[in-house]
Each structure stands twice: as C-alpha cells, then as structure tokens.
Amino acid sequence: MTLLDTLLESAVKDDTAPGIVVIARDKGGKVNYSKAFSSENGTPYHLDTVMEISSMTKFPTTIAALQLVERGLVTLDEDISPLLPSFAKQGVLTSVAEDGTPTVRERRNPITLRHLITHSSGAGYHFFHEGLGKVRAWQKKGPPTKDSVDDSFDLPLLFEPGEGWEYGSGLDRVGQVVEKLSGLSLEDYTRKNIWEPLGADSSTFFPDLHPSIKARQVPMAYRGDPEGPAVEKPEVPTVATGLKVPYGGHGLFASMPDYFSILYSLLMDDEKLLKKETTAMMFQPQLVPASKQALDQFLETPEMKMQFPSPPNERDYGLGGLLVVGDNHEYWRKGALMWGGAASLNWFIDRSTGVCGIFGAQVLPSDQRMRTLIDAFQADVYRRAGKVVLT
C-alpha cells in the first residue's frame, strides 16, 4: 500500500468522505492508477460509482461546442444572438437598488461562443453574485423552476461581453447552442458524439431514466462541522435535483472512468473527440488583460484559493478550464488545464508533462480537508510519473 493509499483509506475511515475514486495515467506508462475507497458507514464506492459532477459538466459541453466549430456550423467569434434570442435581449447591469430593482443599459458588444466558454460573456450566477441575488429576489421568482435554462438564468449581464470575467451560466448557454445547431438534446448529442466514441456508457443528465446508472449513483454528503464527519443525506436537494432539461454547466451525472476517458483522449491526442489543432487551441490562453485580472481576483477569494493553484498572474483560462501559464508551482507546469466540481471533484490534463487525473467524491462543501486529499493525489501522480515536484 502506498502513502497515498494510506492517506485515502484513513480519510474514508474517519468519515472525511464517505468514498473517493481516483484515476490517473501518463503517456510514458509509469502511471496507471485507479482505485476506489469506501467508508464502512456509508454507501459503498466502486470504480464505476456514478456521481453528480456539478461544474465538471462544463468540460464535455465545451467539447461538444468545439465539435460543431470543427463542422463549420458556428465559429468561436461570431455573434450567437440569433441562436439565443432570450439571452441576447439581456442588457448590462449598471446598479442595483436596495430593494433589488436593477438599472440596465443596452449591450454594445456581441456575445460569442468564446465568451461563453471562457466565462467572459458577463453571464453570472445569482447564487455567487450579490447584486444578481438581489435582482433575482426582486423578480419574485423564488427558486429557479428548473424547467429551462432561460427560466433559471433570466438575468442581466454583469459587464460587456469580452471585457471581464465572472463565473456563471455561460456553459448552460453553450448547451443551448449545441442543441439549436445539432437538432438534438444535449443528452443525445453528448451520448452520440462524446460517450459512444469513447466506449463510455455511465453518463447522463437524467439518471432516473436509466436504472443501470441510477443503481450505481451515490448520495451527496454534507459536513456541518469542519472537524466532523461528512454525512450522506439523500433527502437534501442538490443543484441537479429536478432538472427538466440538460444544463450544460452543472447537470451531468457520470462515473469517474467515463469522465477520465475524455481526459486521456485529449492527453493522447487520439482525435476520437477533436482534431489535433482544436485540442491544441484548448490549451492556449484566451483572456484579454481585463478578463484575466478579474479571474485572478476571483481565484484569490477564500473559497477559490482552496480549489486551484497559485501564484496569481500565472493563471489564465483556456477553452474548457483554468490554464496554468507559469512554472512557479510545486508541480503544475505551463499548459496544464484543470477544473472541478463543487462536491469535491477535480480533474487535470498536463500535456507538457504527459499526465492526467481525476479525483471524485461527493462532499459539500469542498473544504480544506478535501483539498488536502486532492493535493496529495495530484502531487503523487507527478511523483509516479517521475516528474520533478518542487519542495
């Protein structure tokens, strides 16, 4: 048993998490690591366990859109307003009164697919942004109906597209673009164009409609006391509960081997999903200086400092995730792409050093205890691959 095995076994034994699944491989054949760890006090976890992956949904949605770019159905930089008329009508928020009444001006810049994918469109989340939260309350809509993306995110933009950065509903809108251009639901499109080419069959936006997938789904766990156990609470609704349509930003359920097959395909550049030139573009910086500055500010918030690597100014955003643009980290190298999900999930692809990996759990909030485990896993992958880990 390795030191990482011991650490993760201890974590499930003391109920830091009910279960954990980790997978990693490299191009050189030194790393081929996949294990599931389970607490004795919760639902058993196996390699094929299905999890609610929250914001990790954004990456396959991005790939779906890039496939349509390759087919010439849309470009990254054309105005997509005709495809999203409800979203396109939104203006830019300039102020919010105490009672939540918004002041909105007409939008000047076009909204493009690149803006939506890189969170530089101005579309925010009302549960992240205080001003949008007030606007949502003023609208007197209460909790989103989840009947449609339009209903859930009928909110003004926070800035002119292309002139800022705000984590938000852009990839939910990208999912709508995929549906409009392909004539398929995002569920059907991703099954035919992402999961089937990879031989993966455990991913869906609607597990209740697939008994074999539902049977392997584990419940979400919650930690009320930072020093206490993570307790499974299947009765507590999550962001994906009750979704009536696919939400490309947070609605997917998947097994970790299914999701890992995406990472490994892009690492190996096997063209099962994307052409080599498209994959290369995903790993290139996409933000203008103003957007990058806003991203750095976002990543320096206490919540995000636990999620992603520092130091500041060595991070940008690629087509699909956070992009490392410097070499002054303990082990990340320039060109590494990564993102995660709220329930203590994380993935990374580092093409410069030839490694990729995924860490899956179902713990809310994703706290420092879980971050320590994720960090240990990622550093161990680099050690196994024989890559230098700075000390």
* Residues forming the active site: 55, 58, 167
Answer for the pair 13, 391: CB distance below 8 angstroms, yes or no.
no
Tell me how far apart the alpha carbons of residues 122 and 373 are, in angstroms, rounded to a whole number. 33
247, two tokens: 């939400």
Tell me how far apart the alpha carbons of residues 273 and 222 are, in angstroms, rounded to a whole number. 35
Cβ-based neighbour number of residue 355 at 10 Å: 28
* Contacts of residue 53, Cβ cutoff 8 Å, sequence gap at least 6: 252, 253, 254, 259, 341, 343, 345, 360
Answer for the pair 54, 345: CB distance below 8 angstroms, yes or no.
yes
Tell me how far apart the alpha carbons of residues 374 and 358 are, in angstroms, rounded to a whole number. 9
